[in-house]
Structures are given as C-alpha cells and as structure tokens.
Amino acid sequence: PKNPMNYDVPKEWFGDSLLVSSGAKWKRQRRLLTPVFHFDMLKPYVDVYNDCVEVLMDKWKRIANDGPIEIWEDISLLTLDSLLKCIFGVTSNCQVNKEHDMFVQTVKNFTRFATKKIRFANLPPLLFRYFTSEGRQWEKTLQFLHNYSRQVIRNKKVQTNREDNKCLDFLDILLEAKYEDGSGLTDQEIQNEVSTFLFAGHDTTASGISWCLYNLARYPEYQQTCRKEIDELMEKKENMESKM
C-alpha cells in the first residue's frame, strides 16, 4: 500500500508506473517486468560498467592534482551513461558529451521543485502552474523530462540492427512484453516505466555511490578494508578462470 500524498508529485513525471502504482495494478506490472531483474540479465553488463568507470577514471586522472574533486556531478553522468547503455541500449557518451548535462541538471531541478511544490499544496494546480514562478519552472521541468523519455523510446524503436545486441535490454522487454491476454503495454505505460528507471537508476544511484565514496575518503581504514576484500575476491576469480 502506498500513501497517495507521498506520490502525487512524482506521479507527474512517472505516471502510474511500478514505483507509484499499488495493489492489483502494481502486481500486474511487477509480474510483467520480473525478467528484467533476473541475475542472468545483469551479468553481461559488467563489462559495460567497467567501460563506463574507465571513462570516469580518465577524467579524474587529468584533474587529480588540482585539488579536491566535487564528485557528485561526475558520478551522476557515470550512472546515466551505464543506465542508458544497459537499460535502453543507448550509447550517449554523456560523460564527455556536455549535451546530456541538461538532463542531470533538470533532474536536480525536479527534486528541488518537488520540495517547493509541497509548500503550495493548498493552491489550485492551475494557479500554481501559471501564476507562480515556481509553477512555471515546474511545468518546463516536466516538459523537458517527458520529452527526454519519449526521445529515448523513439531512438530505440528506429534501431534496425538489433542483432548486434548481446541480450535484450529493459526497453526491449517493455516493447515486447505481453500480458496473459496477449495485450502489451501502451505507449504511455512504456513512457512511465522509462521515466521511473531513468530517475531511480540514475539520480538515487548517484547519490548512494557518492555518499559511499565520501565516507570511504573520510575513513581510510575502512577504505583499506574494502580494498583488501575486493583484491581477495578478484584473486580468487582470476585463479578460478586460470583453471578453466
């Protein structure tokens, strides 16, 4: 069960998606999307994650001696890069292509305006949208985000050489998924799920990674413990691969 009061604002971007829906609607959507979360679906993407991190490391190596690095923006582009590749099959080069900075900035605006919108909860929606500066900014933010989701879907639909894909990605599954009665997701339902995963897989993940790295930097002793554990795991993996 989900309290509508907590989801009214996100619903304006995500619609009635998996994140927002509840009850029978949620159960139906979740069953349809279950294949996306299967471990075998995720394994092929490890190489993609590594490639994306290499781009980030190259960026940081160039500026490492210039002083402290504000990592959140770069981590946001990292998660967006891997998300677009793994879930939507889109190679954006967003970590080095400034064109996608606007999406990252707009997501930040969305969270900020969403907090402000709560202050205007008692104001009629039309008055808020068209007669307050915050409302007009909110409307522009939503328009940009909806257009971004639609563009991701359009780009996917016009791809003709699917045979090059190593496996089905999230958007492939959305476009091809069928309910028990043989019907598929509507265009609006697909857009709602795309918008949800764009936010949940990008912004919240970037926040979690940034917070983790910040604390590892603050507490070097724990950083070394993590490094030791990773080295031991990688050594075991390399030994296993050498015996195969």
The residues, any chain, with a CB within 8 Å of residue 54's CB and separated by 6 or more, are none
What's the rounded Cα separation, in Å, for the pair 138 and 12? 10
What's the rounded Cα separation, in Å, for the pair 235 and 233? 5
Token pair 């009061």: residue: 5
What's the confidence (pLDDT) of residue 238? 75
What's the confidence (pLDDT) of residue 160? 43
Q: Which long-range contacts (CB under 8 A, 24 or more apart) does 54-59 make?
A: 55/81, 55/95, 55/96, 56/95, 59/95, 59/96
Residues 94-112, buried b or exposed e (16+ Cβ, 10 A)?
Answer: bbeeeebeebbebbebbee
Which residues constitute the domain of residue 31? 4-216
8 Å CB contact between 65 and 57: no
Q: Is there a domain that residue 241 lies in?
A: no
What's the confidence (pLDDT) of residue 204? 86
What's the confidence (pLDDT) of residue 216? 95
Q: Is there a domain that residue 243 lies in?
A: no
Q: How many domains does the chain have?
A: 1
What's the confidence (pLDDT) of residue 78? 93
Q: Is there a domain that residue 221 lies in?
A: no
How many other C-beta atoms are found inside a 10 Å radius of the C-beta of residue 127?
A: 11
Q: Is there a domain that residue 85 lies in?
A: yes
Q: Which of 201, 198, 234 is nearest to 106 (CA)?
A: 198
Q: Is there a domain that residue 195 lies in?
A: yes
Q: What is the mean pLDDT of each run of 10 residues along the chain (244 residues)?
A: 75 87 86 76 83 94 89 91 84 79 81 75 71 83 90 75 58 80 84 86 90 95 96 83 66
CATH number at residue 156: 1.10.630.10
Q: Is there a domain that residue 222 lies in?
A: no
Q: Is there a domain that residue 32 lies in?
A: yes
Q: Is there a domain that residue 124 lies in?
A: yes
